[in-house]
Chains A and B, each alone.
Chain A
Amino acid sequence: MTNIPETGRTPRVQIRLVVIQILVLSLLGTLGGRLWYLQIREGEEYAKEASGNHVQQVVDPAVRGSILDARGVPLADNETRLVVSASRTELLKMKDDGKGVLTKLAGVLGMKPKEVMEKVRLCDAETPQPCWNGSPYQPIPITDEATAKQALQIRERAEDFPGITAEPQAVRRYPGPGGSNTAQVLGYLSPVTDEEITQAQDTDSPYLRSDQVGRSGIERQYDKELRGKAGVTRYEVDNLGRVIGEAEADAAQPGSNLVTSIDARVQRVAEYELNEAMKTARKEWDRNTQQRYKADAGAVVVMEAKTGRIVAMASNPTYDPNAWVGGISAKDYKQLTGKSSNYPLLNRAIQGQAAPGSIFKVVSTAAAVQAGYDFDGRYNCSSSYSVGGQVFKNFESQNHGPIGLGRALEVSCDTVYYQLAHNEWKKDGGINPKGKPKDYFYKAAHQFGLGAETGIDLPNEVTGRVPDRQWKQSYWEANKDAWCKTGKKDGDYVEKIAYENCLEGNEMRAGDEINYSIGQGDTLVTPIQMATIYAAISNGGTLYDPTVGKAIVSADGKQVSEIQPKSHGKLPVNKQTLAQMDEALAGVATRGTAAWRFGGWPQDKIEMHAKTGTAEVYGKQTTSWFATYTKDYAIVMTISQGGTGSGASGPAVRNIYDALYGVSDDGAISKKNALLPTPQKKLPKIQTDGSIASPKVAKDPAKDQRASQEGVPEEDGQQQAATVGTPTTENRETRRRRQRRRRPRRLT
């Protein structure tokens, strides 16, 4: 053994042992370095991922705010229903995954066990409806129609029903006070889509899977305010979703209430009168088309003249907004969106557009004054006016001789405006203008706010159209190919028009401007635009953005943010001309085209102004327009294919005024019967507990109004919508009605 070194190692083995030692140390060093990298350098990243792993959110939805009328009467609120829900996490803790409990529950609720199980299963690609597509950590509603007795059974035997709750929950309801409907203005809710959830994810008001989102009307416009903020409780859970502790909870913030300027009673009167007017119009014979008027659609706007606030806005055909509550049925949806019902979802007050006819003449009058024509000058109101062989007739070929512009408004003399427009057309250079044409008549329309949105706080307002040179050019460019293809020089009317349009549709022809001056031809306006204009004439010239929303009041009534009227311009008319126009329009109501509808009106006490309009639409019956105002209100009504302005819409508008001011047919003013002689100024008071002191609304203010007029009670019958029946909402509808009567309204 002596020849072996002291350590007993040959150098080769020694070296290799050192190599092994170095290798071992480098392996451990690698581990240490990697550990440092994961924990220190990237630690925060992983910590975030870890917290996402084990935190689940349970959502306590916020109660949606109510929509109130100007006096605090709820137009949309929430109804308390007893909702029985099951907690999946609780059920899954049981040995049989909660099957026993659910079967027992089905017995109490009078449902089939299978039905109940299907409601609690989670939706995935292979699971057909019914299934739950919300968060599995949220209580899953099994029924929202539980009776108090059933709820009591479940609550009293809580130990028999672990994971099952029976609690009152808020469900949207449109109570329709006083028989009003307000459907298109209120809009409706429907469940949020995946896309919307993704889009709103990182904003300050993200959606929850269970959220209902406003889809049209006020519900959409003020969705964010009404929705509130859902409460979120974050639970820590393990890998199987079992709760292992409560992390934190944000309480739900109930949505704010929206006070509108709508008066439920006036709204009811407006809806009723519009519908009645359309029903009456359908009995009238149209000599032009040799058939009865179709009166297929109509709208009426009642606006506060000094603020632009909407007191009532009705669109016909209409529908029951409650059809959307709890998910619309396929049948209802088809009916609401089908052509056969003539699209009742449309709010025709802001989305319906038609040629304005003679109510446009206020614009033409202002344009003429701007162009330098004397308001009190003498203009020949002949029975017809010819330009280049084309004859433009006055309405019913009346001849009033030389008259001023005021009188032209009163008698609605077309030929005076023909002359003025033709003169201006010639001054601008005729068919081939040199330089920049002045286009007074078109400019005035834009200055009156036509061809643009009024800015009303309702979604999807349409702009209408001013058929100026610019529009003609772009319209021609878009359509000339089709016109040139179908146009024939010697064809029928349509073919001839197409032929002419093909040749010179981009040019401003004399006939275009002449037709335009009396609101015919390609001009399109919406009722809300005309209401805004006539309100402006009433208030001294300010064009207000119409508003429905008046104030947003927090659920506890403590924070009130008023929505102030905004203006989008002034009428291009000086004070003197405005006064003259005002006087002329008063003349329309007293001795002009609308006088026969305002017989017995107390003009000395409540000065009435009006303008009638009857617009021609090619291939259709005439559109009836009636634009009116007093010092406080402007009312514009239109009925498509309804006949003349004063004929079809006159009585209805008169009745609305009668209701507002409490005027009887003989001209007597009864304060008792007046619904709203001056616009509602004060906001309704919302108590800290969320309750609202709102006045009682009569069962049907419209019928009451008629009754007070005639002194005889009308026969009692449900109002039938003009062209579409109230959508059937199955037995839910009747149940809701019954409950409404029995249970005191609960406001939240």
Chain B
Amino acid sequence: MVALVAIVAVLLIVISAVQTLKIAELWAINKGKVIYEVTKKQNKTQALLMLVFLVAYFAFFAWQVWKWGDLMLPVSASEHGVVTDKLLNITYAFIIPVFIITHIFLFWFAYKYAHNPNRKAVFFSHSNKLELVWTIIPSIALTVLILFGLSSWNEIMTPVDSEKEHVLIEVQAQQFSWNARYAGNDGKLGRAGVEFIEGINAMGIDINDKNAKDDKVVRGEIHLPVGVPVQFVFRSIDVIHSAYMPHFRAQMNCVPGVKTQFNFVPTITTKEMKKITNNKDFNYILLCNKICGAAHYNMQMDIIVESKEDYEKWLAEQKQFAEN
């Protein structure tokens, strides 16, 4: 019944709209207008709206920055993140003026040069000089961005020097949880593969590999020492996942059949970050950022950054793989 009423209502609306339009058109024809031509009045209104839109668009942009600026990620908690944040700011300093200036020209010209029958448009079809200018200026700006971007990229992607002090952690993704293991005292991760997965050995560690015996498997959360480089190795045992740690400006896909890696130096402990964000419940997180199945939206693990002493104390409490 409701559906029927709805259909009838929609039909009536459409019919009345058709009739209104028809009448409006007949009216216009009667007055001797070519009804599909944009009238002088309409053209003026549209030109004015161009200007209104320009202002409104900028106002909307400013309003968003003002309203949501505080919701953005806090200061980077990793060494390389500080550099990429700087690069991001430099990029903003380039693109926001470009965005604003081009929009001003676009909508201002649209407003200013609205049709006027007493004026002729200028036949101006090309200018090598102008075109050269706006090819070269973006090229120079881009060269700066590219050079800065590539040097940071190369630094970020260089693995930790294995001779130096560092923490080696393997993170394994599966639908819909994270497992992790620390390399243990030998600094080496034992062999692992899906064929060894059985019972509590969810990470599929090869029990017969001597490097595996002192590995420490943890679930639910990982701890990192502040100021020490952390080398992550990522694996997945089912579909592609992505280990995303936004506060550290870190992300790497976890791909079944392929080992991937990422490294960073945490610089701010969880405790300090609670103060910085003024949020006593703050916690660093690792979340999945590659569509991986129905519960993709809830695949997380906490990360706790603490002093080296606290970290070592925590690690000592974790069981070695051979003890299980």
Q: Do A and B come from one complex?
A: no
Residues of chain A having any CB pair with chain B under 8 Å: none
Residues of chain B having any CB pair with chain A under 8 Å: none
